[in-house]
Amino acid sequence: MNQPKRVALISGAGRNIGAATARELAGRGYHVIVNYRSDAGAAAEVVTAIESSGGTAEAVRADVCDADDVTALVEKVRAGHGRIDLLICNANTVTPPFVPFAELEWDAFAAKITGELAGSFFLTQRTLAVMRGQGAGRIIYISSTASDTIGMAMAHSVAKAALNTFSRHIAGIAAQYGVTVNTVAFGAVHTDATSEFTEGFWKYTTDRSVAGRKVEPEDAARAVALVADDGFGFTSGQVIRVDGGFEVMDQQLHPLADSFR
Ligand SMILES: NC(=O)c1ccc[n+]([C@@H]2O[C@H](COP(=O)([O-])OP(=O)(O)OC[C@H]3O[C@@H](n4cnc5c(N)ncnc54)[C@H](OP(=O)(O)O)[C@@H]3O)[C@@H](O)[C@H]2O)c1
């Protein structure tokens, strides 16, 4: 008898990192729920691409910052498939304000932080109830190395740092249900969200990459798939940095390092 497919729910999977992750996981045998907020056409294209490659997927609209939308989304998946094996909280819910602190409005700062956390809070609460019933599951949050930086986009940095801490609390709670929880923190990835970054920015980062090129959504997706893999099943509560080696290379290339060579 055929085993039912494992079910992965990915928020914000119509474009970029989420879309690439949907395609990657479908290729690894998951039935993928491609969540989107506004771009139905993009989500439909992801489903079509997956089906053309022999996989299965479905697009489901929900604003993951809206509690009622998330309740309906999770209930739809549970009713249709009876389970959720993997949740990936990926949606880029709020574009951060890129302004100096002196010009930063409290409302914009607070909106980034609450929007970032809302995008994971409701999905986690509703999905964890399903996973608890199963006695198994995996949750992955998509964070950023910006959580450890100062000097750039403070609201984004503080929001992702809060997400990292949130994820560790959830890991502690979920462990008793047999659910693992990890966070993948990317350095800069070449997506719509970074499309206005300068050539100088990309040169600086690619000069500090072991690959010597920009990280594309497909690279990011393969890293997420590895963390979702059963081989990672004994790890929980970790924030895994995927930055192409930026952190060490940036220190290696720091002008002061010459004083110690
Ligand atoms: N790009 C980077 O350099 C980078 C680096 C580190 C971490 N990350 C993280 O990686 C994740 C994905 O980033 P990305 O660059 O691929 O983002 P993106 O290009 O801005 O794509 C955002 C996706 O999120 C969806 N979305 C936004 N708000 C939503 C909501 N409330 N409910 C449901 N879906 C929503 C959008 O759906 P619609 O189009 O349908 O509205 C869209 O498909 C984010 O968490 C981001 O912070 C990105």
pLDDT digits (tens, 9 = 90+) for 8-50: 999 999 999 999 999 999 999 999 999 999 999 999 999 999 9
Q: How high is the pLDDT of residue 227?
A: 98
Q: How high is the pLDDT of residue 259?
A: 86
Whether residue 255 is predicted with pLDDT greater than 70 in this model: the reply is yes
Q: With a 6 A CB cut-off, is 35 part of the ligand 1 pocket?
A: yes
- The end-to-end CA distance of the chain, in Å, is 64
Q: With a 6 A CB cut-off, is 205 part of the ligand 1 pocket?
A: no
| Alpha-carbon span 59 to 77, nearest angstrom | 11
Whether residue 3 is predicted with pLDDT greater than 80 in this model: the reply is no
Whole-number mean pLDDT of the chain?
Answer: 96
Q: Among residues 43, 92, 125, 119, which one has the least CA distance to residue 194? A: 92
Q: How confident is the model at residue 151 (pLDDT cuts 50, 70, 90)?
A: confident
| Strand locations in 62-151 (E) | 86-89, 137-144
> What is the arithmetic mean of pLDDT over 49-70?
98
CATH class of 7-199+217-246: alpha beta
Q: Where are the domains of the chain?
A: 7-199+217-246
Q: How confident is the model at residue 258 (pLDDT cuts 50, 70, 90)?
A: confident
The pLDDT tens digits of the residues spanning 104-136 come to: 999 999 999 999 999 999 999 999 999 999 999
Q: How high is the pLDDT of residue 261?
A: 78
Q: How high is the pLDDT of residue 179?
A: 98
Q: How high is the pLDDT of residue 232?
A: 96
Size of the chain in residues: 261
Q: With a 6 A CB cut-off, is 144 part of the ligand 1 pocket?
A: yes
Q: With a 6 A CB cut-off, is 93 part of the ligand 1 pocket?
A: yes
Which amino acid, 7? Answer: V
Atom of ligand 1 nearest to the CA of 116: 45
Question: In testing the pocket of ligand 1, which one of 9, 10, 17, 120 has its CB within 8 Å of the most ligand atoms?
Answer: 17
| Alpha-carbon span 221 to 106, nearest angstrom | 34
Q: How high is the pLDDT of residue 1?
A: 54
The pLDDT tens digits of the residues spanning 166-202 come to: 999 999 999 999 999 999 999 999 999 999 999 999 9
| Alpha-carbon span 113 to 11, nearest angstrom | 18
**Percent of the chain residues topping a pLDDT of 90:** 93
Q: With a 6 A CB cut-off, is 65 part of the ligand 1 pocket?
A: yes
> What is the arithmetic mean of pLDDT over 50-65?
98
Q: With a 6 A CB cut-off, is 11 part of the ligand 1 pocket?
A: yes
> What is the distance in A from the centroid of ligand 1 to the CA of 70?
17
Q: How many CB atoms lie within 10 A of CB 238?
A: 17
The pLDDT tens digits of the residues spanning 212-247 come to: 999 999 999 999 999 999 999 999 999 999 999 999
Q: With a 6 A CB cut-off, is 92 part of the ligand 1 pocket?
A: yes
